[in-house]
Amino acid sequence: MTPVQSASAVTPRTYYRLALMVFALLTGVYLLTASGHTYSIDEELMFGVTESLVLRGNFALDTRADGATSDPTYSQYGPGQSIAALPLYGLGRTIASVFPENAYPWLTRAIVCWLNAFVTAGIGALMVLAGGWLGYAGRAAVGTALLYGLATMAWPHSKTFFAEPLAALLTFAAFALVIRACLPATYAPTAHLLLAMAGLLASLALLVKIQAGLALPFLAMHVVLQIGLCCAATMPAGRWRTLSAWWQVPILRLALSRLAAWTFGVLVALALIGLYQATLFGSPERSGYGTIGAVLSNLFISYPGERLFTLLFSSGRGIFWYAPPLLLWPIAIWLFWRQRWPIALITGLMAVAHLVFYALVKYFGDGAWGPRYLNIVLPFLVFPLVAFLAGLRGWRQTPWRQAALLLTLLLAFPVQLGALTINPAMYIMEVDRRDRYYELQNSPIIGHLSIAAAQLAQWYAIHAAPESAALLRGFSYSEGRRSQGEQLPRWTLPTADIGLRPPDRTHLSLHMGLLGCLPEPLPPADVHIALNQTPLFHTTPCPPRVYHLLLPARSAQLTLQSDPWQPADAGIERQGRWG
């Protein structure tokens, strides 16, 4: 095992400060890019459980207003995500109380959907701590956390209410706590407490997403390896390789007591899960998906090769596309193995196991950015990059590594930008699955960037293009036949604005036709015209009239304003206030 980069100049307290700074930075970025809404029925079901717990005190989705139920329906998803969102729902409910009643559904959802922002930022903070506990320099640990938080699909998924980020937080926290517990300087009582917490968190992940149980055997292997290495460190030099040394009473007591602490945490969590499932579904081994046997019989496909390729490399779901820093993973895991082979072994096995499992599963998690289900294992895939970053020595010493890192960052930013600016469902649901999975030109990444570019071009044409006139706001295009070439709608709202950008040093001659005649018995409408908020004139254009205006040679905004009228006042069955 080669030594890792020295972190002796960085105190443990400094790592906690760095972790807090990373958490604050990522949380701020995520909240600035938050969506404020759910994306799928999966999220709505979990939100519905949160709402039911707050308003009615139970897990049923169809509870009546009086709290009673008849044949209640329960969500097939675990309650962990819904329970974790309870504080945010309470916050949203409190804030919504000072707004009009119709804002309540939007505000509560918007604030509940902040959950994954805090969760994903928490994973980044744990990466900093885990890197520090393994002896890596602060810059390498922080760099790894920022690569995870800002250069992978973790960022777009922080906008959602999907359960994978929380399951990832619990499993990675269990992984990191075992590392902390087995450090040589950790006091025995503290180590036992940390291991019990690790076992508890590892199993509680099943309450968030039952598939998170896939990580449990590898976390158990992680515990055994770390306890073994910790015990070996207590043996006299030269004896730890001999079998007899392991049978010394103090060594056995240390190993078994620590393993028992972790096992106790696991059993407590499994008991809670069994109680929940027995209460709601009639049996401790029956989840919302059904019995274990029924789930397994309907879960898998026969030919996983194509699906494995899809998860790794396809344009619609390949994790190397949606988390470009993982292109560095082969080099990073080799470096990590040389420095910390037990940790590298666990992260590698976790990655392989999840890839194989989800290559066998029928479902892809459509409607999300990239391979949604692999978000659970994404922190374990990114974490070995700490060894890669620790080995960077500047352009002169490590030019190829620096260039490789820069290339992945250049790829990562537009990939995540596409998901942050455009709702994934806007493109994904309109393109055939096979096309977007296997044809690069139909990739959601290309599609989203194309949509974003088109919207940017439209914004430029409306608000900034020189030598142009544009209808800025207040015009009802639902009333105009744009498909037949009509340039103007039939109606305006009570206030409408036109942007005018004439050529330089050229006065603009504007010819404007107005109609202010309203349906009987309503009187004609008065129209007020203003240029840059300075009144020009007012008129009653009934019958219709054409007005000729000579405007100055500079950009300006022409405003049309009239008293609003409602079609219902003229006996027309239509809602709205028009100009």
238's tokens? 């030269």
Element (H, E) at 277: helix 249-281
* Residue range(s) defining the domain that contains residue 91: 35-113
Evaluate if pTM is beyond 0.95. no
223's tokens? 């515990």
Residue-wise pLDDT for 143-191, tens only, equals 999 999 999 999 999 999 999 999 999 999 999 999 998 887 777 788 8
Which of 429-438, 445-454, 520-529 is predicted least confidently? 429-438
- Reported residue count of the chain is 579
Round the average pLDDT of the chain to a whole number and report it.
Answer: 83
Residue 544 is assigned to a structural domain of this protein: yes
Q: Are residues 166 and 59 in the same domain?
A: no
Residue 122 is assigned to a structural domain of this protein: yes
Q: Are residues 84 and 154 in the same domain?
A: no
Residue-wise pLDDT for 32-63, tens only, equals 999 888 888 888 899 999 999 998 888 888 65
Q: Are residues 551 and 476 in the same domain?
A: yes
Residue 441 is assigned to a structural domain of this protein: no
Give the pLDDT score at 387.
94
In angstroms, the CA 216 to CA 211 distance is 10
| Residue that terminates a domain, selected from 77, 94, 113 | 113
Give the pLDDT score at 334.
95
Q: Are residues 130 and 279 in the same domain?
A: yes
How many CA atoms lie within 13 Å of 188's alpha carbon, on the beta-carbon side?
Answer: 9
Q: Are residues 305 and 378 in the same domain?
A: yes
Confidence of residue 3 (pLDDT cuts 50, 70, 90): very low
355's tokens? 């890839």
Residue-wise pLDDT for 457-485, tens only, equals 888 888 778 888 888 888 776 555 656 66
Q: Are residues 500 and 389 in the same domain?
A: no
Give the pLDDT score at 142.
95
Q: Are residues 380 and 515 in the same domain?
A: no
Q: Are residues 160 and 81 in the same domain?
A: no
In angstroms, the CA 223 to CA 225 distance is 6
Residue 447 is assigned to a structural domain of this protein: no
Q: Are residues 245 and 134 in the same domain?
A: yes
Residue-wise pLDDT for 284-307, tens only, equals 877 777 666 666 666 666 667 778
- CB 82, CB 288: distance < 8 Å: no
Give the pLDDT score at 236.
57
Q: Total domain count for the chain?
A: 3
Residue-wise pLDDT for 389-402, tens only, equals 998 887 777 888 88
Q: Are residues 193 and 158 in the same domain?
A: yes
Residue 178 is assigned to a structural domain of this protein: yes
Q: Which residues contact 161 (CB under 8 A, 6 or more apart)?
A: 38, 39, 43, 46, 47, 81, 85, 112, 113, 115, 116
Instruction: Provide mean pLDDT across the span 531-546.
Output: 87
In angstroms, the CA 526 to CA 490 distance is 17
| Residue that terminates a domain, selected from 113, 145, 162 | 113
Residue-wise pLDDT for 307-339, tens only, equals 888 888 888 888 999 999 999 999 999 999 999
Asked whether the predicted pLDDT for residue 5 surpasses 50, the reply is no
What does R_g of the chain's alpha carbons equal in angstroms?
A: 30
Give the pLDDT score at 573.
75
Higher pLDDT, 539 or 145: 145
Q: Are residues 228 and 287 in the same domain?
A: yes
Q: Are residues 45 and 145 in the same domain?
A: no
116's tokens? 């994954």
Q: Which residues contact 488 (CB under 8 A, 6 or more apart)?
A: 471, 475, 480
| Residue that terminates a domain, selected from 95, 113, 131 | 113
